[in-house]
């Protein structure tokens, strides 16, 4: 009897996992797996403790996403301080999942610096990302889901991207 109960539990847990779509696993904020924090000014005791790193942050929702390129800082308790004033680049796009492949189409909607010859504001870009074992590969760099971010800032980026699209 115990074997039958265990078999029923295993079968029901496996069938409940089938209902979780890969698309649902992608929703949320993603940051690089490995972030190399650098000191602001080495040798200056006041500034040496201020760390920063420049990298992209993804935020996925339903069939849309934003990509924010900025210089960020580590916060308290493994949190992340996302820099947003003034220097960042913001991209907005659509995504679609096919097996473990994430097809994206996006364009730059805001940039602090608008350099001559920068065509990203005009052109759509197409990229292919890979999602495996809860790791997202973008430009040969692994990203992981991250929940310890300022949701107010992420929401502000979303509003700005939707207004500019």
Q: Is residue 14 part of a domain?
A: no
| 80 occurs within a structural domain | yes
Q: Is residue 89 part of a domain?
A: yes
Residue 66: strand pairing partners: 59, 92
Classify residue 111: in a domain, yes or no.
Answer: yes
Least confident range from 9-23, 24-38, 45-59, 128-142: namely 9-23
> Do the beta carbons of residue 26 and residue 60 sit within 8 Å?
yes
Domain residues for 158?
30-164
Q: Is residue 11 part of a domain?
A: no
Q: How many domains does the chain have?
A: 1
Nearest to 27 by CA among 75, 83, 95: 95
Torsion of CA 74, 75, 79, 85, to 10 degrees: -80
Whole-number Å distance between alpha carbons of 105 and 92: 9
Is 90 within a domain? yes
What's the mean pLDDT in 69-86? 78
State pTM to two decimals.
0.77
Q: Which two tokens stand for residue 58?
A: 């993804």
- Has residue 21 been placed in a domain? no
On whether residue 115 sits in a domain, the answer given is yes
Of 157, 148, 163, residue with least CA distance to 59:
157
Mean pLDDT of all residues in the chain?
A: 80
- pLDDT for 80: 81
Write out pLDDT tens, residues 120-151: 666 899 999 999 999 999 999 999 999 888 88
Dist. CA 55–CA 57, nearest whole Å:
7
């Amino acid at each position: 009897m115990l074997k039958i109960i265990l078999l029923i539990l295993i079968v029901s847990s496996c069938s409940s996992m089938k209902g979780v779509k890969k698309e649902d696993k992608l929703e949320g904020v993603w940051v690089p797996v490995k972030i190399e924090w650098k000191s602001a000014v080495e040798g200056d005791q006041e500034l040496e403790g201020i760390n920063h790193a420049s990298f992209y942050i993804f935020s996925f929702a339903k069939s849309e996403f934003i990509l924010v390129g900025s210089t960020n800082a580590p916060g308290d308790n493994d949190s992340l301080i996302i820099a947003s004033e003034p220097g960042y680049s913001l991209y907005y796009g659509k995504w679609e999942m096919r097996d473990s492949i994430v097809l994206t189409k996006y364009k730059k909607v805001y940039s602090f610096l608008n350099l001559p010859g920068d065509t990203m504001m005009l052109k759509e870009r197409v990229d292919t990302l890979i999602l495996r074992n809860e790791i997202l590969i973008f430009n040969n760099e692994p990203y992981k889901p991250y929940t310890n971010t300022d949701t107010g800032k992420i929401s502000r980026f979303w509003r700005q991207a939707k207004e500019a699209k």
